[in-house]
Structure 1
C-alpha cells in the first residue's frame, strides 16, 4: 500500500533528527459558509452579505512535529490572492527561519508544489526536503484538520469586508495554533499510519 511511503519518511526524519511538517493551503471567501444551526422555533436565521463580492484570503499552513515528537507547532502565512509556487517558497523560507536542523515537508501533488521555484529553494537549502503524499489522499494530511476546524469556527459568520474576514481567520487559526490538543487531534484524526501519530 502507498501509505508505507509515508512511514518511510518518518523513519528518515527520525534518523536525521528532522522536523516533519504536514502542509496544505485553503481559501476563505467573503461569501458566508452556511451550515445548519439552532434557532428559536419559527425564527429562521437570516444572513445578510454583499452579493457579488469575491474577495478572498488564501492561507498556507503546516503542522510541525519536532524530532523528539513532544512538541507540535502550527505555522501559517496569509495572502490576498491565490497561492502559487512563489508563495509556497515564501512559506518554506519562513519555516526554515523558525525551525532549526533538517526539515521534511510533506505536501500533496499539486502543481503549486512542484516546478522551478521549488527546485531552486531545495538547491539553496540543503536541510530542506520535500516529500509528497500519494495522489488523491487528503485524508492522510493532518493539516486538512486545521482547515476543517478553522472553517467550522467561521461557519455562519458574515464579515462585511476583507478586513473583518482577515480578523476572523486570524482568530480561528490562532485558537488552533495555541491548542496542542487540537493539533494532536488533527494528527489523530488523519489516516496516517499508526507509527506517525
Structure 2
C-alpha cells in the first residue's frame, strides 16, 4: 500500500520523507472495460477482486473472471462486443480462446506486444494514480478499496474522461466491424 507520489514540498536543502504504515500480503486487483458505441455515451465496466479473505487464493484474475466480465458487458450493453486484448496471459489462455470461438457476439483483436499506449484502459489507471490515489497513505486495505471504488465511479460517471482515454490512444470508433482486406489477384 505504498502511495504513488504526485507532488510534495519540503524545506530547501532537506529531503522530504513520506511515511507509510507498512506492507502486507493483502492485494486488490481490478479488471476494467472501456465500452464505446457510435452515437452512445462511453461506459466503463469494472470489477474489483479483493484477496484479503483467503490467503492461499489466486492473486490475480483468472480467465473465467474475464469471461464473466465480457458476459456482463454483453448483457448490460445488449449487443455485440469487440474486445481489444493486451497480451496478458489470462487473455491468451486456451479456455478463453474456446469461449471467444463459441460466441458469435464476441470479436477479439489482439494488441501488439508492449503497446500500453494503444489500450484505453491504461488511461483510467493513470487518472486514478494521478488523482485520488496520489499522495495518500492508506490506513488499511478497506481504505484503499473505498478510495479506488470512489475514483472509478467518478470516471464512470464522466463519459468525457472515458472518451479522452480513447482519444489518447489514437484509435477511432466506426459503425462497421473491421474486416481483413483481401489481396488482389
- TM-score tier, shorter chain, comes to 0.7 to 0.9
Instruction: Give 5+ residue unaligned stretches, structure 1.
Output: 1-29
Match of 2:21 in 1: 50
Match of 2:30 among 41, 50, 59: 59
Structure 2: gaps (5+ residues)? 51-58, 175-185
User: Counting strand residues as a fraction of each chain, which structure ranks higher?
Assistant: 1
Per-residue CA shift, 1:94-122, capped at 9, x if unaligned?
A: 21221212111111122210122213422
Q: TM-score, with normalisation over the residues of structure 1?
A: 0.74
Deviation at 1:177, TM superposition (A): 0.7
Q: Specify the alignment match of 1:99 in structure 2.
A: 77
When Rg is computed on C-alpha atoms for both structures, the one with the higher figure is 2
Answer whether contact 1:150 1:172 (CA < 8 A) is retained: yes
Matched-pair contact (CA < 8 Å) for 2:21–2:137: no
Query: Which string of whole-angstrom CA distances, capped at 9 and with x for unpartnered residues, describes residues 124-151 of structure 1?
Result: 4321122111222111111111110011
What is the DSSP-based 3-state SS (H/G/I as helix, E as strand, rest coil) of the residue aligned with 2:90? helix
Q: Confirm or deny: 8 A CA contact 2:116 2:122 kept in the other structure.
A: yes
Structure 1's consecutive aligned runs of 4 or more residues displaced over 4 angstroms after TM superposition are 38-46
Counterpart secondary structure, 2:109: strand
Cα root mean square deviation, aligned: 2.3
Quickly say closer, same or farther: Cα 1:91–1:40, change in 2 above 3 A. farther
Q: Which sits farther off after the overlay, 45-54 or 147-156?
A: 45-54
Please say if residues 31 and 54 of structure 1, whose CA atoms lie closer than 8 Å, have aligned partners that are also in contact: no
Instruction: Report which of the two has the higher share of helix.
Output: 1
The equivalent residue for 2:181 is: none
Residue of 147, 154, 162 corresponding to 2:125: 147
**Corresponding position: 1:109 with 2:79:** no
Cα 1:178–1:109 change in 2 (3 A) is: same
- Residue pairs, 1:149-164, within 5 angstroms: 149-153=127-131, 154-164=133-143
1:166 lines up with 2:166 in the alignment: no
